[in-house]
Amino acid sequence: MQAQTSTPLAYTIYRLGLWYTLYRLLIITGLIIIFQLISEQLSADYNQPVLYFYTLVGYCGISLIQFLFFKFYPQHIDRQLILLFVIDVVALGLLTFSLGAPNLNISLLYVITVFSATILLRRKVSLVITLLAVISLIYQQFFSSFFDYNNLNTIGNSALLAFLFFVMYGIGQVAVKHFKILENISFRQSQALYQLQNINRYILEQIDDGYLVLDENYHVVLSNPAACTLLGIPPLFAHEQLPLAKTQPDLFELLRFAPLDDGEQFIFESQLSTYNVHIKVQRLIVPQQALILLRLQDVQQLNQQVQQLKLAALGQLSASIAHEIRNPLAAIVQANELYQGSEPEQQHLLQKMIGKQSQRINDIIEDTLRMARNDSTHPMLIELDNFLHHLISEDLADVQNKIHLDIAENITIYFDHKQLTQVLINLIRNALHHNDPTVNQIIVSVHAVRPYVFIDVIDFGNGVEKRDISQLFKPFFSTEIKGTGLGLYLSHSLCEANHAKLSYVEQEKGACFRIQCSTKDK
């Protein structure tokens, strides 16, 4: 089809026009059949039966030609529709004239013609068709009244019918207006959806990871080039929904006979592919459909990324260690240079400085080794009430009078015993160090909000500056000159190893470090 039907609105008008041409052809054929069957019984109802019959025959022939032309030569649709409705008005006018007065059936056909013209034609053109229908109906009644004065009583009916034409024209215009609004909304939404699909397709094509979406019958709903490459299958187009059993039978057998849970991961090797593929399964619930999303990654590439991350972390750690050790080393070198030729009292101070800086270097090395050892975690059931009382009385005996324990009930958690001890000692001594000197105690509070347990270590010092909060758990960050900056980082890492979370909670006064872990009933 040409430009006339290239837009959605033009194509819709073409389809409606085609249905209308078929409708009028069927109606006219039916009128001819009815006339042939009952013309003898109702001959008195026809003022001019010969004109009526030949009008129907001519109308039917022209309608057939227009239907065939409209269907097989869809060019200049607007002109074809205008000619079609002009012929309708002329033919219906002749039929009404041959009957001698407006007939109910012919009047309904008039109304349908006017309404259809309002829908299918432009506003001004449809108004002209409506006026032609009015003129055809009214003036042929005036013309017949010059020859038969008995037809004067039908003029009022014709005027009423003409008024109905204008009413139908108005209703049609309102319908067309709403139809165009809905058509524009639908068109804009379809355009937006099409653009979004193209954007999604472009993004998927640029991603190195493979994505494969399957339906309940294991048919490929969506794939990207990376997925096809990793699985060793031909590229699939957006409109293709091929069965996985045909494209990748190895993966199909694995998914079908060994159903995988949501979030499960596995390594897949196929005879069709040279890659070892790491696959993560995710179940997608969409309206009226359950889909399976497979995220595919090259195992070799993943290993390379892990090694790169390790090297980057090692480089960052090495740079941080070098930076931290450089300061005390510089102090030791300077003290050593000043030692020669200095007074005994000054030498004593310099020796003390050298020992202090040496101890600082040793602390940095010890914390780094403890962090690098990455000891395995052995979680066990811990009753916090007994654990905390034992920790305060034995491991923190020198400061136990400065710790207020607040625990309302005996709560149990799973945690590595040694690692929890290390974390809490670090947090408690850190809180005591930063506590307000005028306040005698810090608070260790334990409370449960199912399914979580919160262990809070609270002091009443100056708290942490807002600009420093984001840096708290990074290695070698410390607000104290004497600090190594590894204590909080190590505590944070130990909590993560036990599936817990260490975080800083802002207070109006002081600081609060919170350990969040899951409850475990006895």
What are the tens digits of pLDDT across the range 432-450? 888 888 888 899 999 888 7
Give the C-alpha separation, 468 to 486, whole Å: 15
pLDDT at 152: 41
Give the C-alpha separation, 328 to 493, whole Å: 26
Report cis status (omega within 30 of 0) of the bond before 451.
Answer: yes
| Phi, psi dihedrals of residue 517, rounded to the nearest 5° | -140, 170
Tokens representing 312?
């980057």
Give the C-alpha separation, 204 to 438, whole Å: 61
- What integer is the mean pLDDT of 365-386? 75
Of 501, 503, 475, which is closest to residue 489 (Cα–Cα)? Answer: 475
How long, in residues, is the chain?
A: 522
Instruction: Place 481 in a pLDDT band, splitting at 50, 70 and 90.
Output: very low
Tokens representing 197?
């699909």
Give the C-alpha separation, 449 to 88, whole Å: 80
Q: What is the pTM of this model?
A: 0.41
Question: Looking at the predicted structure, is the pLDDT value of residue 416 above 80?
Answer: yes
Of 102, 166, 158, which is closest to residue 131 (Cα–Cα)? Answer: 166
Question: Looking at the predicted structure, is the pLDDT value of residue 238 above 60?
Answer: no
User: What proportion of the chain, given as a percentage, has pLDDT over 70?
Assistant: 77
Give the C-alpha separation, 491 to 371, whole Å: 10
Q: CA 379, 384, 387 angle in degrees (round to 5)?
A: 85
The string of DSSP codes covering 204-216 is HHH-SSEEEEE-T
Give the C-alpha separation, 101 to 355, whole Å: 125
pLDDT at 487: 74
Of 47, 21, 31, 35, which is closest to residue 99 (Cα–Cα)? Answer: 47
Give the C-alpha separation, 379 to 418, whole Å: 9
Give the C-alpha separation, 128 to 457, whole Å: 87
Question: Looking at the predicted structure, is the pLDDT value of residue 456 above 90?
Answer: yes
Give the C-alpha separation, 174 to 178, whole Å: 6
Q: Taking the mean position of all CA atoms in its chain, how far away is CA 428? A: 45
Q: Check the CA dihedral 214-215-219-223 and report its sign.
A: negative
Question: Looking at the predicted structure, is the pLDDT value of residue 84 above 70?
Answer: yes
Give the C-alpha separation, 434 to 444, whole Å: 15
Buried b (16+ CB within 10 A) or exposed e, 250-274: bbbebbeeeebeeeeeeebebeebe
Q: Please tell me which residue, 388 or 208, carries the higher pLDDT value.
A: 388
Instruction: Place 477 in a pLDDT band, splitting at 50, 70 and 90.
Output: low
Question: Looking at the predicted structure, is the pLDDT value of residue 1 above 50?
Answer: no
- On average, the pLDDT of the chain sits at 77
Pairing of strands 276-286, 265-269: antiparallel
Give the C-alpha separation, 182 to 163, whole Å: 29
8 A C-beta contact, residue 512 and residue 505: yes
Among 125-129, 146-150, 173-177, 389-393, the range of highest mean pLDDT: 389-393
- What integer is the mean pLDDT of 332-340? 80
Question: Looking at the predicted structure, is the pLDDT value of residue 53 above 50?
Answer: yes
8 A C-beta contact, residue 113 and residue 134: no
Strand order in the sheet with 511-518: 403-407, 442-449, 452-458, 511-518, 501-506
Question: Looking at the predicted structure, is the pLDDT value of residue 339 above 80?
Answer: no
Instruction: Place 4 in a pLDDT band, splitting at 50, 70 and 90.
Output: very low
- What integer is the mean pLDDT of 466-489? 66
Give the C-alpha separation, 319 to 330, whole Å: 16
Give the C-alpha separation, 81 to 121, whole Å: 7
Structural domains in the chain, CATH included, are 3-186 (no CATH), 207-301 (3.30.450.20), 304-373 (1.10.287), 379-518 (3.30.565.10)
Distances in Å between the alpha carbon of 357 and those of 173, 317, 318, 349, 373? 92, 21, 20, 12, 24
Question: Looking at the predicted structure, is the pLDDT value of residue 43 above 70?
Answer: no
Give the C-alpha separation, 473 to 490, whole Å: 8
Of 427, 417, 408, 414, which is closest to residue 518 (Cα–Cα)? Answer: 414
